[in-house]
């Protein structure tokens, strides 16, 4: 399994959307919220994604297509 830590920044148009729910529903990844600051105007989250490399890549690509800002922090490949 692979673990990837990412920062996600969401603008006002995205904070009310259930995109974390979609990550766990539409992709074969576990989503762990490490840190978060969210209010009505914007949000910042540090997420850990765990799963097969291909699914993590698909999930992060999807996040980017939604208009969210995604920054990879760290990647660890486990056995």
Band of pLDDT at residue 1, cut at 50, 70 and 90: confident
Strands (E), 1-79: 2-10, 30-38, 43-51, 69-77
Residue that wins the pLDDT comparison between 47 and 15: 47
CATH number at residue 40: 3.30.70.260
Q: Please tell me the pTM assigned to this model.
A: 0.85
- In the chain, the number of structural domains is 1
What gap in Å lies between CA 54 and CA 41, rounded to an integer? 32
Q: What pLDDT shows up at residue 79?
A: 47
**Contact partners, residue 67, CB within 8 Å, separation at least 6:** 11, 13, 14
Domain that holds residue 10: 2-77
């Amino acid at each position: 399994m692979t673990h990837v830590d990412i920062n996600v920044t969401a603008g006002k148009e995205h904070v009310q959307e259930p995109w974390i729910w979609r990550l766990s529903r539409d992709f074969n990844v576990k989503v762990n919220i490490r840190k978060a600051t969210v209010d009505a105007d914007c949000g910042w989250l540090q997420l850990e994604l765990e799963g097969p490399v291909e699914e993590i890549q698909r999930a992060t690509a999807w996040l980017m297509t939604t208009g969210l800002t995604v920054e990879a922090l760290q990647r660890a490949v486990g056995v």
